[in-house]
Each structure stands twice: as structure tokens, then as C-alpha cells.
Amino acid sequence: MARAADTSTTYMPRFLVAAAIVLLVARAVVWFNTMHDGKQQISSVRWTPVEEFKRSASLANGKLVLYKFCANWSDPCQRLESEVFINHKVSDLANADFLTVCVADRVREDGTNTPQIAELQKRYHVFAFPTLVIADANGDSKGVLVGCSSSLATYRFLARASQTESYVSAHK
Amino acid sequence: MQTDIQQLGDVVAPMEERTKCIIVQDLVKTYKGGRVKALQGLTLDIYEGEIFGLIGPNGAGKSTLMGCLLGLLSPDSGGISIMGMPPGVLSTRRLTGYAPERPDFEGWMSARQFLEYHHMLAGREPCTREAEIDSLLTRVALPANVWHRRISTYSRGMLQRLNIAQMLLGEPRLLLLDEPTLGLDPVGVVQVRKVLMGLRETGVTAIVNSHQLDEVERLCDRVAFIRDGKICSVQHLNENREEEYTLKVRWNKNCANANIGTAVDEAARAAGVVLKELTNASASFLVANDRASCLLRELIVNGIDVEEAVPERTRLEQLFEMGAQNE
Amino acid sequence: MNKGILKFTLLSACLDRIKLFYIVLLGFVVPIGMKVVTYMHGAEESQTFEMLTGKVGVAFILTGLCLGLAGGGSGSQTGKGGEYLPLILTRPVTRAQYIFTKWSTFTLVGGVLAAVQNLILALIGVAFGEVLSPYVVAGQMLERFLDAGIIAAALTLALVANHWLFQVCAITAFYVWMMAQTMPPVSVAGPSSAGVDAVALEGTHLMLTLSRLIGDLILPTISVYDATNAPHFPLLAVVSYVSTIVVYLVAAIAVINKREFFYGTSG
């Protein structure tokens, strides 16, 4: 009865529909592969277990201590390693300017922590994991970052403490 | 009143020579999963260059028909052809102008900005913008001192004039008007009438949906009476201007005297109309359309100070009554 | 893209005084004030600050603006800003063009405002001795545009899909995502608890997990900083982001094509 000569007002761009289908399939495939491989991503930060850490090393090196309070069962802690410290800017800064110490909570596994861990948690008022604490050679807190923040926020947290310390050291 | 009702399927000789602008065939439209039947097999032909009226009771399906013609509603079945194209394509939209009954204007815009927006939406050339907008605003008699004012400050009449102006953007060949004279003062009503009559001369087709029956009667060439989603009748208005009707005339009581009856009688005879009823202050005459002005002139010449002259009922009102009685 | 819709949507954003006030306050005054106070007192930046200068800030800007910029509000023939869709859609404009133009405009407005905000904050940081490389600042600004793109796509769909069930789901998902943005992802320390404490902890854990899942599903993010400094290209993040935007746009076009715009309908 009537000729459909040109574009309908309710035209659906076919390329967009095709793109949506292709991208959804790609997303599913990549997600599956990532889940399969994800656990193998390890950051390049050299964490020293707290049991092996000696504060005298900080005094000798003039470096700040970066404590990472975490727990093996905590998802945010795993994300901190796989998403934040995997960023080489963050890991390079942490390795270069800090003595990096890992304080792993053992309450759920062993029922209690060692006195050293308990004392550190109490000293720095740690109530959640992960918590990053920057301390100087005397053990005084220079900065606290609670939770798994973004890479940039973590970098700025480390850089601010590191820059301040460099400034103070240079002007003694 | 005798009506000249076109039976569906009959073809009137003059229309045969004209091109069909809109063809609607067996249109069905329901809402709410079929529970509300808005259109039930509506069939209609509208010719190029005519002004076509749609009248009917509330809920008859007039607005639904308009929505289908505009491509805003999808019919359940049936077909629509507008100048040989379906309603929902860009070519049809370029040729169509629409004046909704209840537009919601962007209050922060001025009239110029509003028309500029629709000028751009209509895909018009930027170089024509200023001239076209000025021309349209002048045409609808929107005062120039309000062209730059925010629409939120406009009166109802100004908004309706702006509505008509935006409808005319892009030199459309088909106009759909929903209650075009709503909110307009008598001057505005005359303005709209002039615009539409002028456009008709250029072959523009217009469909007017209105409850203002006297206005529809003045404006339209044909009128369709819709009820329950179907066309009940289509009346040719232009061909029946000689139809008789009752005109009630009232005059100043102070000029009434013993000779008033004689004067009125003489005026009626001179004008070629029949005097039906006479009182001291008014009279009813049986007149044909073209004798009314003659009658009024004769009454005045005979010393009667005419104050008012109104038809008792319009033909369309009688059509409405007939439609209601047939239920 | 339709130039008319773009131009007048932008104008609508600029000329509404209430919206401008809201944007200036929430988008600039509050975060800048917080940043200055933080530096003056040597404090750490709060989670609220991270929210207002990140994706959540973009969401605040766009939800405030979109209420006035869009057409076809829920259950109504008119846009919340008065754009009368039955009139717009009778013009020779495809509905896909309308959706695409609106999305582009929202992205442009939200992205520019948030990017400018980030730039101002970076400059304030410089004044207080925090030096971020131009590369990092540019990356942040780009991120705000990317955030605006996906939030704008989600909002465009939410504005045209007026079915009550969809609206309930969309609003619920948005608020679950928003609630958990108020705290960083953490696990609460302490031994296994019982009773009310356990329920509270598990509830928090559930909310954070749910928020992350919902966020990854409906508002996946690309971190430009991570993308440029991670050992591997974040393919999943990029594919998730692009696919979600495309799906939202396709869904919005499909919905608006199906809707009937006329008084007397519920569309």
C-alpha cells in the first residue's frame, strides 16, 4: 500500500547490535580466562614478614617503614596485591623508599596472634584489613590508609610521606 | 436539517479528480493488552489541499488516529499511507507539521530559541533560520517585544501562537492540529483561520481535531464523525452552505414599538427569509447561509437596532445529536 | 548526532540556575574546600573526598543535570526539564539519533565538569607541594570522561525505560553501589563473632561484595593509571567498559523505539 522509501524513525543501527553481541561474547571469554589466570598475578613488592623484620634496619637505612596489616582470608587484601601493588609505579616507589613489612593476622587460623603482631595492631589502632601504616625509625605513625584504595590514591599516600621525609632529611 | 452524508465507499465527483494525501485502511489500535479498543477498523481517505475535521465524543479515537498518523503510535493492524509513504519514515516527518493540544514548552527558552531548536530538528538550512523564524512569529501575530522573553512568562494565547508557529516550520505539506484555537482570543482564532485558509490555497492538507464545532464548520471542507473507533459519517461542509437553519436575532428593547412587527416582516421579505417567531426584543428566522447578512442589513435599514444574531444550533451540533441518538 | 538536540541540551544545562548552583556546590566548592583543609592540617584525604572527586562525583553531577536534560521521564510524556517528546519525535529525527545525541551530551557535560574539577584539585595540590606529573593529571581527567560515558549511558537508559520493575531494579542497584562507595573495601579485624555482631559483620561483608559485583556489572571502570602502569594490558576492564556502554545504548534505543508517546498512553 505504501512504499517504505527511506529511514524509519525507529531505525536500530545494526552495527551497534552486532557490536553489542560481539563485545558481550568477548567479555565472557576474557572474564573466564582472567578468573582462570588471575590468581597467578603477584605484585613485585618485596614484603618482609614481620617476624623477620628488625627496626634497626630502618634506623640504618634512614627509610620509613611501610606496614601492610592484612589477613589471608580477606578479599580486599588480595585485591590490594593483585590490583594496586601490581602497578609498577606503586611497587617501585614502595620498594625504593620504604622498608616493606607484611603483618598477617592469624586470629582466624590460629585463634590468636603473636605478641609482636598484637602489639603492632594495638599501637597503630588497626581495626580493618588491609591497613597501610607508614612509620618512622622510632615507630611513630606518619600516615594511615585504611582499605583497598585505588592505585593512584595509594601512590599519592606513599609519595606524600616519602616526599616529606626526603624534605626533612635534606634540611636537617 | 437535511444532511448530505457521504456513504462510505461513495465517490463524490469533484474529489475523484484530486490526489489522495492520506489513505487509512482498516486501522485497529488497542491498549492495555486489547482491553481498550481505541480504533476498530477505521477507514478514511483525505485529499490533498483539503482541510479535514475530526469530531466525536471523548474517547472516540480521534487522538489515537492522530497519534497513528504521526508515527507516535503503532497500530495493531491496518495500513496508513501519507503521500505514498508510511507515517514512520523521515521523509513523511519532513513534510508534516504538528500542533499538539497540550504542548509542554521548555520554559527557560525564548520564542526565538524554541523555534530555532525546532528549525534545527526539522533539518532546515542554517542560512534560512533568522528569516524564517521572524516570518513565522509575525505570521502568528506574536508581539515582537516578547520574542526574546522566556516562554515561562507567556500567556495561554501566546503559547498557542507559538505552537502554531512551530507547526509551520519547514513548509510542511500536511498539518495535524489538535484543538488549534484553544486559549486563543477572537483575533487569534481569526488569525489561525486565515493561516490555514491561506495554506489550503497552496495545496497544503490539514487535519483539525477540535471540539469547537462552530470553528470546525467555518474552517473545514469535510468533517468525519468518529465514534467507538470507527467513522460513522463524513459530511461535505462546503457543498451545503445553502442549507437552511434557524437564526435568532435580538435587538435593543428601546427601539421596539407598535410597528416593530411590520418592520421585521418587511425586512424578512426583502431578504428572502421566513419569519418563524417574533417577540418585542427578538425574532427567529429560517435562513439559508448566504441570506443571513442580507437579513441583518434589511433589519438595520428598517430601523431595528440589532444587538446579537446567533444560529440556534450549528449543523455539526445537530450531527452530534443524531450520533448520540443512534447509540 | 543531531546538532539541535546537542546545542539545546547544553544550553539547558547552563541556563538553569538551580542546577548550576547544585553543580558548583557539590562539584567544586565542597571537594576544593575539603582538599584545602586536608592539606592545611596535614590530614589524610577522606573517603568522601575520594568519592566526590571520582566516579561517584561524576554520578552526582550527572544525576543532578540529567533530571533537567533528558526527555521522556518515567511515566510521563514530558522530559523532566519540559522537553515534550511527542513533539520532538514527530520531527525528522530518528529515535536512535535522539538517544545517541543525549548520551554524547551528558558525557560531554559530566566529563568536562569532572575533569576541570580534577585539574583544579591537582593545581591546588601543587600549591601545597604535592607534585603529580602532567601525565598522571591528564590520565585522571581522561578517567573522568570515561566515568561520565558509562554513567551517562546508564542514566539515558534509566530515563527512557519507564517500566516500574526496571526502575525499581535500577534505583536499587544504583543505591547499593553508592552506599558501599562511602567506605573503602575492607575486612573487619577480630575473631569470629556470634549473634548480632556476626550478623552485622556478615551484612557489611555482603553489602561490600554485592556492591562490587553490581559495580563490575553495571558500571565497570577503566583506571587509566593502572592501564598505563600495570604489567599487562587490562583487557577485561576495557572490554567490560565498552561492552556495557554499547549494551546500554542498544537497550535505550530498543526501549524508546518500542514506547508509544501520546497522551492517553502509559508510555
Residues 6+ apart with CB under 8 A from C133: none
pLDDT score recorded for residue B12: 39
Residue B130 has pLDDT above 70, yes or no: yes
CA closest to C258 among chain A residues:
A10
Strand partners, B54: B209, B224
Domain boundary among B218, B237, B256: B237
Whether B88 and B141 share a structural domain: no
CB–CB contact A3 B84 (8 Å):
yes
Domain boundary among B211, B237, B263: B237
pLDDT > 90 in chain B, percent: 32
Whether B66 and B183 share a structural domain: yes
Of residues A1, A6, A10, nearest to B81 (C-beta) = A1
Closest CA to B215 of B235, B190, B239: B190
> Is residue B256 a contact partner of residue B281, using CB atoms and an 8 Å limit?
yes
Q: Is the dihedral of CA B272, B273, B277, B280 positive or negative?
A: negative
Residue B258 has pLDDT above 70, yes or no: yes
Closest CA to C77 of C203, C241, C259: C259
Closest-CA distance, C46 to chain A, in angstroms, reads: 10
Residues 6+ apart with CB under 8 A from C154: C170, C218, C219, C248
Instruction: Report the CATH number that the domain containing residue B206 is assigned in CATH.
Output: 3.40.50.300
User: B117 to each of B7, B276, B284, how far by Cα in Å?
Assistant: 44, 57, 53
Judging contacts by C-beta atoms under 8 Å, the chain C residues touching residue A16 are 96, 246, 249-250, 253
Closest-CA distance, B222 to chain A, in angstroms, reads: 24
Whether B220 and B77 share a structural domain: yes
pLDDT score recorded for residue B204: 92
Distance between CA atoms of residues C59 and C61, nearest Å: 5
Where exactly are the structural domains of chain C? 3-160+220-258
Judging contacts by C-beta atoms under 8 Å, the chain C residues touching residue A5 are none
SS3 content of chain A, % helix, strand, coil (to 5): 50, 20, 30
CB–CB contact A8 B85 (8 Å):
no
Closest-CA distance, A8 to chain B, in angstroms, reads: 4
Closest-CA distance, C18 to chain A, in angstroms, reads: 33
The DSSP bridge pattern shows strands B222-227 and B51-55 to be parallel
> Is residue B4 a contact partner of residue B240, using CB atoms and an 8 Å limit?
yes
Judging contacts by C-beta atoms under 8 Å, the chain A residues touching residue B25 are 1
CA closest to B67 among chain C residues:
C262
Of residues B25, B81, B89, nearest to A6 (C-beta) = B89
- Confidence class for position C197, pLDDT limits 50, 70, 90: low
Distance between CA atoms of residues C10 and C102, nearest Å: 10
Distance between CA atoms of residues B74 and C265, nearest Å: 12
Apex B215 CA angle, B210 and B216, nearest 5: 55
Closest CA to B170 of B121, B124, B206: B124
Answer yes or no: is B187 within a domain.
yes
Answer yes or no: is B271 within a domain.
yes
CB–CB contact A20 C189 (8 Å):
no
Of residues B31, B63, B122, nearest to C263 (C-beta) = B63
Distance between CA atoms of residues C84 and C72, nearest Å: 8
- Confidence class for position C216, pLDDT limits 50, 70, 90: confident
> Is residue C149 a contact partner of residue C186, using CB atoms and an 8 Å limit?
no
Closest-CA distance, A76 to chain C, in angstroms, reads: 6
Closest CA to B210 of B188, B242, B239, B183: B183
Query: How many residues does the structure list for chain A?
Result: 172
**Which B residues in the span 81-140 are in contact with A, Cβ-Cβ below 8 Å?**
81-82, 84-86, 88-91, 93
Residue C124 neighbours by CB distance under 10 Å: 16
Distance between CA atoms of residues C236 and B83, nearest Å: 52
Whether B141 and B275 share a structural domain: no
Residues 6+ apart with CB under 8 A from C125: C35, C39, C131, C132
DSSP secondary structure letters along chain C: --HHHHHHHHHHHHH-HHHHHHHHIIIIIHHHHHHHHHHHTTPPPPHHHHHHTSHHHHHHHHHHHHHHH-SS-TTSSB-TTS-BHHHHTTSS--HHHHHHHHHHHHHHHHHHHHHHHHHHHHHHHHHTT----HHHHHHHHHHHHHHHHHHHHHHHHHHH---HHHHHHHHHHHHHHHHHHTS-S-EE-SS---HHHHHHHHHHHHHHHHHHHHHHHHS----HHHHHHSSS--HHHHHHHHHHHHHHHHHHHHHHHH---STTS--
Taking residues C126-148, what's their average pLDDT? 86
Closest CA to B164 of B149, B178, B145: B178
Whether B251 and B268 share a structural domain: yes
Domain boundary among B170, B201, B218: B170
> Is residue C167 a contact partner of residue C74, using CB atoms and an 8 Å limit?
yes
Q: In chain B, how many domains are there?
A: 3
Answer yes or no: is B138 within a domain.
yes
Whether B11 and B76 share a structural domain: yes
Question: Does the CB of A18 have a partner CB in chain C at under 8 Å?
Answer: no
Whether B186 and B291 share a structural domain: no
The radius of gyration of chain C's CA atoms, rounded to the nearest angstrom, is 20
> Is residue A139 a contact partner of residue A55, using CB atoms and an 8 Å limit?
yes
> Is residue A95 a contact partner of residue A45, using CB atoms and an 8 Å limit?
yes
Write out the E strands in B193-266: 205-209, 222-227, 230-236, 244-251
Q: How many CB pairs under 8 A join A and B?
A: 34
Q: Is A50 helix (H, G, I), strand (E, B) or coil?
A: helix
> Is residue C110 a contact partner of residue C148, using CB atoms and an 8 Å limit?
yes
- The fold adopted by the segment(s) A41-170 is Glutaredoxin (3.40.30)
More confident: B162 or B16:
B162
Whether B134 and B64 share a structural domain: no
Taking residues B125-153, what's their average pLDDT? 91
Question: Grid coordinates 566526590 are at which residue?
Answer: C52
Whether B142 and B72 share a structural domain: no
pLDDT score recorded for residue B23: 94
C-alpha cell at B179: 484543538
Whether B71 and B197 share a structural domain: yes
CB–CB contact B79 A7 (8 Å):
no
Strand partners, B222: B52, B236
The whole domain housing B249 covers 244-318
- What would the pLDDT profile of B24-64 be if each residue is shown by its tens digit? 999 999 988 888 888 999 999 999 999 999 988 888 888 89
Assembly ipTM? 0.81
Where exactly are the structural domains of chain A? 11-40, 41-170
Answer yes or no: is B26 within a domain.
yes
Distance between CA atoms of residues C18 and C14, nearest Å: 10
Whether B76 and B38 share a structural domain: yes
CB–CB contact B82 A2 (8 Å):
yes
pLDDT score recorded for residue C129: 75
pLDDT score recorded for residue B76: 92
* Reported pTM: 0.81
- What would the pLDDT profile of A107-159 be if each residue is shown by its tens digit? 888 888 899 999 999 999 998 889 999 998 888 888 899 888 888 889 888 98
Answer yes or no: is B24 within a domain.
yes
**Which B residues in the span 62-81 are in contact with A, Cβ-Cβ below 8 Å?**
71, 79-81
Q: How many CB pairs under 8 A join A and C?
A: 138
Substitution target from A6, A7, A8, A9 for chain C, most C beta carbons within 10 A: A9
Taking residues C60-85, what's their average pLDDT? 56
Whether B150 and B26 share a structural domain: no
On the 0-12 / 13-18 / 19+ scale of CB atoms within 10 A, C15 is middle
